[in-house]
Amino acid sequence: MTPQLALRVAIVGSLALIMFAAIFFRLWFLQVLSSGQYTAQAASNIIKHVTIPAPRGEILADDGTPLVTSAEVPAVEIAPQSLPVPLNLSDIEAHPGSQPAKDYAVYSELAKLLNISTKPQSCKFIIYYTAGPKQYSPRLAQIPCLVAQGIANSQYANVTIKTDVSQFVYDYLQERLSIDPRLQGVVPTEVYLRQYPYYQLASQVFGYVQPLESTEVHDPNFKGANSSDVVGQTGLEYEYNQQLMGTDGYEAVKVNSANEFQGYGKEKPPVPGANLKTSLDLKLQQVGQRALAESIAKNSYAGANSGAFVAMNYRTGAIYAMGSLPNYHPSTFTHPVSDKTWASLNSKASGDPLLNRAIDGPLPDGSTFKVITATAALQSGIWSLGDTYNDTGEYVFDRNEPCTVPGNCLHNSGDGASGVVNLEQAIQVSDDVFFYNLGDLLNQGDELQVWAHRYGIGEPTGVDLPGEASGVMGSPAYVRSLDEQEKECETATGIYSYTNGDGVFSAKPEAGLHPSPLQPNGCGIALKGGTSTWGPGDNVNAAVGQGYDEVTPLQLAVVYAALANGGSIVTPHIGEDVQTASGTILQRIDPGIKRNIGINPVYLNAILEGLHAAAQSPGGTSYDVMGSFPRTVYGKTGTAQVGTDEQIATNTEADDAWYACFVPSAKRPIVVVVSVEKGGFGDVAAAPVAREILSQWFLGRPGKYVTGTATTGKNST
């Protein structure tokens, strides 16, 4: 062997050595150092998890009666990946308006079986891209539309075509599935459906459930939910979704690279959701709802169309009953909701049945507010116990001008005059002129606003329900902020949307937004140009729960609870505890007392005296309703003028009726607030409902409907 060959052999030998070293190092790295990662990937290659939905927990009454339950019902789904021509997101993107003919054969077979229309109609769905959502609206028959919507929402999940199918159809599908190629991709299954044994009872309080949408996945209340899960969208269902939802299980299926079934893997059973025990009293809830409906019906001649009530433990804030009318049947949402139904559920014409008026949609509460004015007047020292006021039937702002000058004079409701009254008597007869005077006196400082805030007006009560309104306490600062919004809106160049209680408006026409109908007069948030100013008249209005004042029934219940319990602001709550199916308590719900407003007990007693006289002494505003009730009742009527300034001035719009009351009791403490929109006088429309609730609570029966006749307690100009 020549030296040259020896060198070259050595070079090749070294190359081989390097080569084998590289192979060994790489093998060691892959098989020893990174083995775990690859083992997991190999497992995920063959194991596909099929979600087993967890049954949702029940919502229970205080005595354990199930109010909302879950039941397993037969359903039919389509697995888009298993159709004769498998479908995924890219197929839908490429051909939003058509799907393969072989799949249509399956759809038409299924449509026949389930009695679903095959007529094409407009089908809307949104596909989310990193650049943003893109809406598609092709014309598709119902089943392909559901499939397209399902894939757009979550491309690997099965699409529910129909729940609650008959057992016959379910059995038929189970039997035919393996032998009938026209049913390829159809999955007969069982799903849990929300059941409502008491139908529309407390529907806004419970809320409804719907499948998780792709826009909702980041909501902390939906953490851990799978794309196929049904989640609480409103009410307690939303608030306690984490507890009620449970944890889905899965069935592990082994598949090969062609996704063909190869066997079963480990199964993880679902963990059912926990039950939510509430403080709701089933009987009280039923009675309240029925009485409110009766009152609305009786007063519909005046325009009554909606209302709300709250019954609450004034010491703990536990809510015994809460209702809002009109309401809806939550089972509407256990099936896909058509656009038409959805629009109707959200329209003013049908009375906004989804709105929980007890916590949302705050309104002026009229004379029920007077207890706050009284507290502020006494505590600030501008009024002393024993001081009297001579009510001549009119309150004059400028004594040098006659009452013919518009806005210079305010009158009592019914235009009567009470003569010389003290504070207790003023509360008893709901003397407006007396409180106008207090409002005027209090305008020297901000004591009215300070005490209103202490009572919780203008802030959410913190009840365990979503969508609670804060309400409004009129003040110079609030008027300034409205002016600023008005200016901002009027000078806006782009889309400017705002709500003034009537919906969303825009300074410029825009899809989905409308130019303000008040455009010629500005945006309608405040006076045109943002020129509103706070004057004594505003504080006078505020003193009787009018003007800017906006309060929810629940907020008012908290105010009267504070009067009943000696000044503590409670945190209202419906949930009592979260418990397992067998009753083991997992979580207690006791938000406790927020604060004490620090009212002088002597002043409090004077107010209570007035409230008791108003309810149960002859001459009191609700005496004809509450006078005969066999318990000590403290109650105040409210008759609030609503509508535009013009409507109020001409008195052409029916008033909102309010009633707030409580009955001291060591064992069964209760505060009740009732509001009937456009119900007229508080004593006529609201107090009778409160009486039935109190009667059911203390006597175990609602008693008969006692109609009030008192027409005082209304603020009028």
Partner 1 sequence: MSISPIERAGDTAGQFTRSLLRIDPLLLLGALGLTACSFVTLRGAGYHSEADKQLMYAGGGLLVALLISRFDYTLLREYRYFLYGLMIVLNLAVFGFHSVNSAHRWIPFPGFEFQSSEFGKVLLIVSLSAFAVERSRRLSERATLARVMLLGLVPAMIVMGQSDLGDALVYVVIACAILFFLGTSWKHLTALAALFVVSGAIVLGVAPALGLHVLSSYQLQNLTTFINPPATCNATANSTGYQLCQGLIAIGSGGKTGVGPVHATQAVFGFLPAPDTDFIFAVISESYGFAGAAIVVSLYALLIWRTLRIVTMSKNLYGTLVAGGILGWFMFQVFLNIGMTLGIMPVAGVPLLLLTYGGSSVFSTFLAIGLLESIHVQARTASAGKARVLIV
Residues of this chain that interact with partner 1 (CB under 8 A) are 1-2, 4-6, 8-9, 12-13, 15-16, 19-20, 22-24, 26-28, 30-32, 34-35, 37-39, 41-42, 45-46, 254-258, 262
Residue 325, by phi and psi: left (phi above 0), alpha (psi -120 to 50) or beta? beta
Closest CB to partner 1 among residues 14, 390: 14
Closest CB to partner 1 among residues 23, 343: 23
Minimal distance, residue 194 CB to partner 1, in Å: 38
Cis before 326 (ω within 30): yes
Minimal distance, residue 260 CB to partner 1, in Å: 9
Strand partners, 160: 77
Closest CB to partner 1 among residues 22, 405: 22
Strand partners, 321: 311
The backbone torsions φ and ψ at residue 346, rounded to the nearest 5 degrees and listed phi first, read -110, 10
Minimal distance, residue 35 CB to partner 1, in Å: 4
- Closest CA relative to residue 152, chosen from 222, 76, 87: 87
- Closest CA relative to residue 287, chosen from 317, 320, 329: 320
d(CA 87, CA 103): 9
Closest CB to partner 1 among residues 254, 480: 254
H or E element: which one contains 111?
A: helix 101-114
Minimal distance, residue 89 CB to partner 1, in Å: 12
In this structure, what token pair is assigned to residue 697? 């609570």
Closest CB to partner 1 among residues 31, 347: 31
Closest CB to partner 1 among residues 254, 290: 254
Minimal distance, residue 255 CB to partner 1, in Å: 7
Give alpha helix (H) positions in 470-547: 476-491, 536-543
Distances in Å between the Cα of 322 and the Cα atoms of 87, 280, 285, 305 are 47, 8, 7, 18
Minimal distance, residue 125 CB to partner 1, in Å: 23
d(CA 450, CA 148): 56
Minimal distance, residue 63 CB to partner 1, in Å: 55
Per the CB < 8 A criterion, the answer to whether 609 and 632 are in contact is no
Closest CB to partner 1 among residues 34, 644: 34
Amino acid, res. 491: T
- Closest CA relative to residue 370, chosen from 429, 455, 427, 428: 427
Residue 682, by phi and psi: left (phi above 0), alpha (psi -120 to 50) or beta? alpha
Minimal distance, residue 82 CB to partner 1, in Å: 17
Minimal distance, residue 6 CB to partner 1, in Å: 7
Closest CB to partner 1 among residues 4, 130: 4
Minimal distance, residue 156 CB to partner 1, in Å: 14
Closest CB to partner 1 among residues 179, 258: 258
Per the CB < 8 A criterion, the answer to whether 267 and 251 are in contact is yes
Closest CB to partner 1 among residues 40, 52: 40
d(CA 690, CA 672): 6
